[in-house]
Structure 1
Amino acid sequence: MGELARWNLKVSRETDLALRTLLATRGGRKGDLSRFVEEAVNRAVLREIVRDIQARNTDIDPGEIEKLIDDELGAMRGSFWTDWRTN
């Protein structure tokens, strides 16, 4: 997890109880609350990044995007197998 930062959060009592109940039903252990919050934040950040990229690319032809993706995937596949064979 790397270097840790400490957050102080305030949530409603209902949210606290719902989350703690969920974690308890999954056999909650020390650190589960922190892991749950970190995973939720990471998902929310990724979702926002995807929305930003989609908004930035609304004027680009979908076919052009597909071609760019295919070109990059092809390059990555080629380098993956080249690297794999040499190691």
Structure 2
Amino acid sequence: MGVPFEALLPYGICLAVRYHLDLPDAIRNIQNGGKRARHSIDQWDRQMMDRDRRLTGWLRGQVDRPIAPAGFEYSNGWRVEKNLH
């Protein structure tokens, strides 16, 4: 004897609500490279996240290579003018 589908509706509703509420968190998690979202980001954090983005291509990515890749000779964004003398 089978189980009527009406008996399973509350379970389906509970599962749908649970996974629907976690969907924005899952999207935010994917955007951060699998890491939790950051809060209260100050200027230092923005600077370090920009550096990480330039090194790895991800905003929250980090590498353990001791030598910087080509094109990353200068770690700051300032351009220095050439000496006139």
TM over 0.5: no
Which structure is higher in RCO with an 8 Å CA cutoff and minimum separation 6? Answer: 2
Counting helix residues as a fraction of each chain, which structure ranks higher? 1
| Structure possessing the higher radius of gyration over alpha carbons | 2
TM-score, structure 1 normalization: 0.29
